[in-house]
Every structure is written in structure tokens, then in C-alpha cells.
Amino acid sequence: MSERSQTPIRVLVVDDEGEVRDAYRQILLEADVNRDLAVFHDLRTRLFRKTEIAPPPAQPGSRAATFDPVFCDGAETAVAAVKEALAMELPFAVVFLDMRMPPGPDGVWAAARIRELDPAIEIVICTAYSDVDPCEIGGIVPPEEKLSYLQKPFHPHEVRQMTIALASKWRAERTVVKLAYFDSLTGLPNREQSRNRLVSAIEAATLHERTLAVLYLDLDNFKRVNDTLGHAVGDELLRVVAARLRSSLRYSDSRSIDSSSIARPGDLARLGGDEFMVLLPNIRKPADAGVIAERIIGALREPMQLALNSLVVTPSVGIAIFPNDGADAETLLRNADLAMYFSKRKSPGTYSFFDAAMNASALQRFTIEDKLRGALQRNEFTLNYQPLFDIRTGHISGMEALLRWTNDQLGVVPPSEFISVAEETGLILPIGDWVLRSACAQAKAWHDEGLPLIRMSVNVSGRQFALSQFPSQVGAILQETGLDPSKLELEITETVIMNDEAWAEKAIDQLKALGVALAIDDFGTGYSSLARLRRFAVNRLKIDRSFVTSLNECSDDRAIASAIIAMSRSLRIDVTAEGVENISQLMFLQEHQCHEAQGYLLGAALPAADAEQLLRRVDAVLEGTRTQRLKALIG
Ligand code: C2E
Ligand code: MG
Ligand code: MG
């Protein structure tokens, strides 16, 4: 026999007549069916003799179904009993309700109240009269399929078997609900269930003009526990967290918060992973939610003994208040989540209230950070190659490797959105390493195929460049890929040099000793003067696109661009103009003897296969005038 069917069935018996209650008592407390039969005849006579009898003792050792009945003599006490059972988390499976209990309210009244309190309970209407129409009662106390009918006088077997059958139906339904709406690890409501609960709490708050709060919790160091101590310890930790959340919410701090603001067990949920939600359906003022958040953080911060480890876990908490921070469940949850992210970044283990400044762009920023982790392992990066043209000869002088990121959920993310995040988080170090290695390997492959690639340009972040081992890393990658160092040019920005001029000078010397060339990218945006850059032995300046864009209209920018070109020539530094988009810009640059140009007019960044095709075309059009060659390549 399964363990489940051995747990006693909780039954509520409601009848104003003591004799009838005794009859039930006989049936429900007598587990042995054979004995049931023996007492049956006796019972009938006693029923009509109207004398109280003591119930026979229960037989706990019996293998048959056992019952845990509660007896009430009126409708009101029955409603109170259901309430209490729910509060104790010991709900009744079945209630037998007498139809007429004068002078108090009748069975239909009780059924309606009970159904309101407990949508799952099986209700049995019992009556000696034939004027009761179950169909009519079903309309008053829906759903009809959870309503049964029993005619008095009943046979004990009827009551017993009906209880067992209805309880088994009730249990099966509970199991289904548990599977669909509860998290099996912690026993807490899951995301789906908590959403339903939040929706109805918002409806109630709207109706009664209440303030409601949603707390979004995320454990700060859960991943590390899982990774280092294993999933079994991780699971145990989540169970302990759930238990602590339960008890910290049950505790009522009547001095600062009124009792209606204390969450009920159903107002706590596990949203997935190490994320939990607490719903406070009725608070007096938003600050009360902060008090509860603090209490929760305090409760979780206590050290936990798991297996042989003593662990300290802190949660970061975000709070969104209804109606101020959102009118519906999705908005409130999203804003609470966003506030949680702010807590986590600002100082883990604290709480934050949502505020409007935590806007969509901030959310996008956090989402990028989240997805950027692991992007390298998931092979989400590729390199595109943009051709660099020698505009004096019309030949391709190089390719610039430009990083591309495609994520399953975010789609193609432009470098302008993720490079800065990668830099802030330090993720740029492994990513930059991958870029350099891939670009060198590609250049070497093209070279080996005999394609005319003179130079591969690779962007280097300030974070990479600042590492004392950066020059030796570059050397190692060159060795590993077998690329001739003279074919590699590294692009850094002026600010990177100016941040630490002493190191920049040393690093550039070391890189040049390897045979690698250096270019200053986005020149003109970093407030450094050419004179200051002189002592750094850079090979090239790349004039920022902002100057090139306004070459047609703005005479100041024309003057600046021509001055940069002229001065570089005198310092024997090559110049590349970035962002050349039209013929007149190209003509201006040619007139001023700018060496190189890069831009959409000449070619956008291409996937490796297309860049390779372009290099093959170059091979084929080596002959002809400069203009003919440029035309052939652009066309
Ligand atoms: P950048 O190094 O100055 O690269 C040139 C950027 O200008 C590229 O944008 C390129 O597609 C774009 N561009 C080229 N020609 C034109 C044009 O005619 N008009 C316009 N409007 N834009 C043009 P992209 O690929 O979006 O890269 C943006 C920036 O991201 C790069 O600027 C560079 O600073 C950074 N970046 C790209 N790849 C890497 C990388 O592998 N490592 C590092 N650290 N940064 C990278
Ligand atoms: Mg660049
Ligand atoms: Mg640039």
C-alpha cells in the first residue's frame, strides 16, 4: 500500500443532529470494514433511539484507509473550521454538509462560503428531503463536478466509499496542480502560479485602493556554490533559502507593519534558478516593503551549514510598488527585476526600490552584460574584414578585422553597444585575445593562398594594452599562427596612450621590436596633439570619421584634415581616413595626398569569405590606372 493512501483523509462533517454525527463517527473512525458491517445493524437502531454513544476507538494499525474527521454542529462553525484548516495548511478533502440546520444558516449558505475559501474541497450535500435539486445548488456553488449528493438515511458503506473516492479524486487533482504550479525542489509556487497570484492581488489592490509590493530576490553567489560544491549542495542551499524565506515572512513585526502587510505562504515563489519573488499584497506605505526586504536579507545572511561547508549567502533585492511602478504583473515584475540588478551592481546584498531612471537602456546594458558572459564559449563571435585602400595607387593595402557578435536572443549586437560593456567587465581580455589570434590566423591563411594581403589591422582595447604581458602575448600569438609580424598592425586610441604615457612608450617599443606596426585609431577625438604623439613611434594615424564626414561642408574640418595629413607626411607617419562615404570626400583626400582610405564608398566590413573574394578580384585587376583599379574594385 502506498504511503499516500495511508495518510488519514481529512473530512469535515457538518450536521446539527448529534445522532447523525455519531453515525458518521462510527463510520469514519472505524477502519475495519468487517466491523463496520457488524455495527451497521446496531447503528440503525441507535440512530432512531436518539441516545449519545461513545465512538469505538480508532485502529491505527489497520491497512485500510483511515480518516481524520472533524465534527461541527452548524454552518458557521463549519466555515470557521475550513478557515483554520487552511491556515494550518491541513485542508479538508471532503465536507459532508447537512442541508437543514435550523435555526442557523443552511447547508447551501455554508457550501457557498466554504467554496469561496477553498476551491479544491469536495462538497457533499446530505438531506432527508427530496426537495433538494443538486443541479440548482451546483449553480449557486460551482463547480458542479465538485459537488455530490447523499440521501439520508445513508448506508455506512455509502459514506465510507464516497469519502475514499472523493478524497482520491481530490488528491489526484492536488498532485496535478502541484506539478503544474509548484517547484518540486522547494515546494514553493512556481513562476506560473506566482504570476496568477500577482494578477489577482493587483485586481484586489485596485478594487480596495491598496498599495502592493513585489520583491525580486537573486542570490549573489549561488553560481559559485553550484560550480565549486556541486549541484546537490546547490539544491540543498535553495531548500534552506526557501525555508528561511517562509519563516522570515511568517514572523510579524507588529510595531512597524500592520499584519495585513505580512505575506501569506502563497505569496512567496521560486521564479527559477536562484531567483525568488515575495508578494506583499497590502502594505501601508512603500517604505514597509524596505523593512521586509531588510528582514529577508538579514535572515538569509546567517551562515548555513551544508554538508561539511559553512556558507554565507546574500541576496540582492529589487522592489517595485503598485500602482506607482507599474499597473500590471509583467511591468511590476520586470521593474522589480531591474531594481534587483541595480542592487547587485551597486552593492550586492542590499535592496533597491525601482525608479524611472532605471530605464530601458540600462536594462539593455545589463542584458548585454549577462549574455556577453559565455559568448566566447558559445562561439557567438565572428570577425568581419573591411578593406583599406591605398588611394594613391588604387590597391588594397590591408584589411581591418572588426568584431561581430550574434546572440540567440539579442540578435546581432553592434560593437558600439557591447565593446564598452566588455571593457568594463574585463571580458574584453579573453575576447581581445580571440580576436587577435583569429585575425592573425586568417591573415596567415590568405597569405599562404597567395592572396595580396599586405597588412592585417586589429583593434586593441585599452584594457588589453595596459597589461604588462601584452607585448609578449602578441609575440606568442604571432609565433603560434606563423604570421609574419610585419603584416600585423595594432590599432589603439590616443586616450590609451595618454592614460599612461610611460607604459605606452615602453609597450610600443616592445611591440615594434617584435616587428609589429602601430596605428592611432579615431585620431582627432582624444584632445592630444600631434606634437605630443611624436615621441611615440607610431606608424599610422587614422583620421576619425567625424572629420571626414564633414569634409564637404565644414571648412574648419577641411583645414584640420589637411593639416593632419601635411604634418604626418613631414613626420613620416602614414595617414588613413576613416568613414569615406562619397566621391567628393575621396577626391579631397587624394588632392591632399592622404595615403589610405577606408569607408562604405570603397567597401564595408565583409564576412571572411566575401573579403577573400575581394582579395581575389584585386589580384585580377592589378593592371590599369589608379582610377580604373578603384572603379573596378568599388563597382
Ligand atoms: P573603428 O576601429 O574606428 O572601426 C571603424 C568603424 O567604422 C567600424 O564600425 C566600421 O564598420 C565603421 N565604418 C567603416 N566605414 C564607414 C563608413 O563609411 N561610414 C560609417 N558610418 N561607418 C564606417 P564597427 O565595426 O561597428 O566598429 C566600431 C568600433 O568598435 C571600432 O571602431 C572599434 O573601436 C571597435 N571594435 C570593433 N572590433 C573591435 C575589436 O575586435 N576589438 C576592440 N577592442 N574594438 C573593436
Ligand atoms: Mg579601428
Ligand atoms: Mg576608428
- Name residues with Cβ closer than 5 Å to ligand 3, which is an ion: 521-522, 578
Cβ of 435 less than 6 Å from ligand 1: yes
- Kindly tell me if the per-residue pLDDT of 38 is higher than 60: no
Helices (H) then strands (E): counts for the chain: 25, 22
Q: Which amino acid is at 454?
A: I
Residue partners of 365: CB distance under 8 A and separation at least 6? 421
> Is the beta carbon of 163 within 6 A of some atom in ligand 1?
no
User: Using an 8 Å Cβ cutoff, are 321 and 353 in contact?
Assistant: yes
As a 3-state breakdown, the chain gives helix, strand, coil percent values, each rounded to 5, of 50, 20, 30
Q: How far apart are CA 442 and CA 434, in angstroms?
A: 12
- pLDDT tens digits for range 502-557: 999 999 999 999 999 999 999 987 766 677 777 888 999 999 998 898 887 777 88
Domain 3-181 has CATH 3.40.50.2300: yes
Which residue is closest in CA terms to ligand 1's atom 45? 459
Say if CB 249 and CB 187 are below 8 A apart.
no
* Atom number, ligand 1, closest to the C-alpha of residue 432: 42
439 lines ligand 1 (CB under 6 A): no
CA atoms of 269 and 187, how far apart (whole Å): 9
The mean pLDDT value of the chain amounts to: 87
CA-based end-to-end distance of the chain: 83
The highest-confidence range among 182-191, 285-294, 522-531, by mean pLDDT, is 285-294
* Joined grid coordinates for residue 440: 592573425
Beta carbon of 464 within 6 Å of any ligand 1 atom: no
State the closest ligand 1 atom to the C-alpha of 600, by its place in the atom list counted from 1: 18
Q: Under 8 Å CB-to-CB from 385, ≥6 apart: which residues? A: 399, 400, 401, 402, 442, 605, 606, 608, 611
Q: From CA 401, how far away is CA 487, in angstroms rounded? A: 13
Residue 608: band (very low, low, confident or very high) from pLDDT cuts 50, 70, 90: very high
pLDDT in tens, 60-83: 444 578 999 999 999 999 999 999
Distance, in Å, from the CA atom of 279 to the CA atom of 87, rounded to the nearest integer, reads 18
Max CA pair span of the chain: 125
What CA–CA distances, in Å, run from 131 to 99, 107, 349?
A: 11, 14, 65
Distance between Cα 632 and ligand 1 center (Å): 25
Contacts of 81 (CB under 8 A, 6+ apart): 12, 70, 72, 92
Residue keyed to cell 557591447: 418
Q: Does the Cβ of 521 fall within 6 Å of ligand 1?
A: yes
Output the pLDDT for position 1.
41
DSSP 333-354: HHHHHHHHHHHHHH-TT-EEE-
Ligand 1 mutation pick, 442, 578, 585, max ligand atoms within 8 A of CB:
578
Name the closest-CA residue to atom 3, ligand 1: 522
Residue 71's Cα: distance from chain center in Å?
A: 48
How far is the centre of ligand 1, averaged over its atoms, from the C-alpha of 134 (Å)?
76
CA 442 – CA 444 distance, rounded (Å): 5
Interval 159-172: pLDDT, tens: 999 999 999 999 99
Q: Whose C-alpha lies nearest to ligand 1, atom 22?
A: 579
**Closest ligand 1 atom to Cα of 598:** 15
Assess contact for 618 and 453: CB atoms under 8 A.
no
Point out the ligand nearest to the CA of residue 605: 1
Cα(381)–Cα(375) distance, integer angstroms? 7
User: 479 pLDDT exceeds 60?
Assistant: yes
**Which CATH code fits 368-545+602-634?**
3.20.20.450
Residue-range domain boundaries for the chain: 3-181, 191-354, 368-545+602-634
Burial of 384: CB neighbours in 10 Å, binned 0-12, 13-18, 19+: middle
Q: How far apart are CA 197 and CA 238, in angstroms?
A: 22
416-454 pLDDT, tens digit each: 999 999 998 999 999 999 999 999 999 999 999 999 889
Cis peptide leading into residue 143 (ω within 30°) = yes
The sign of the torsion formed by the CA atoms of 624, 625, 627, 633 equals: positive
Q: What is the pLDDT of residue 47?
A: 61
Alpha carbon of 522 to ligand 3 centroid (Å):
4
Q: What CA–CA distance (Å, rounded) separates 136 from 132?
A: 8
Q: Ligand 1, residue 580: give the atom nearest the CA.
A: 18
Between CA 60 and CA 31 the distance in angstroms is: 8
Q: What is the pLDDT of residue 192?
A: 86
**Residue with CA nearest ligand 1 atom 46:** 459
More confident residue, 157 or 30: 157
Ligand 1 pocket member 579 (CB < 6 A): yes
Which protein residue's CA is at the shortest distance from atom 42 of ligand 1? 459
* Euclidean distance between CA atoms 555 and 376, whole angstroms: 45
Q: Which ligand is nearest to the CA of 548?
A: 1
Beta strands in 476-578 (DSSP E): 488-493, 517-523, 540-543, 574-577
The C-alpha atoms of residue 15 and residue 21 are separated, in whole angstroms, by 6
Q: Is the pTM of this model over 0.85?
A: no
The alpha carbon of 510 and the centre of ligand 3 are apart by a number of angstroms equal to 23
- Residue 416 burial by Cβ neighbours in a 10 Å radius (0-12, 13-18, 19+): exposed
Cβ of residue 599 lying under 6 Å from some atom of ligand 1: yes
Q: Which CATH superfamily is domain 191-354 in?
A: Reverse transcriptase/Diguanylate cyclase domain (3.30.70.270)
Q: What pLDDT is attached to residue 118?
A: 85
Instruction: Give yes or no for residue 403 having a pLDDT over 50.
Output: yes
Percentage above 70 pLDDT, the chain: 89
The CA-CA-CA angle for residues 581, 585, 591, to 5°, reads 145
Q: Is the CB of 522 under 6 A from ligand 1?
A: yes
Helical ranges in 449-578 per DSSP H: 462-465, 470-481, 494-499, 501-514, 530-533, 545-549, 555-570
Which residue, judged by its Cα, is nearest atom 23 of ligand 1?
A: 579
Is 581's C-beta closer than 6 angstroms to any atom of ligand 1?
A: yes
**Of 135-149, 260-274, 280-294, 617-631, which one has max mean pLDDT?**
280-294
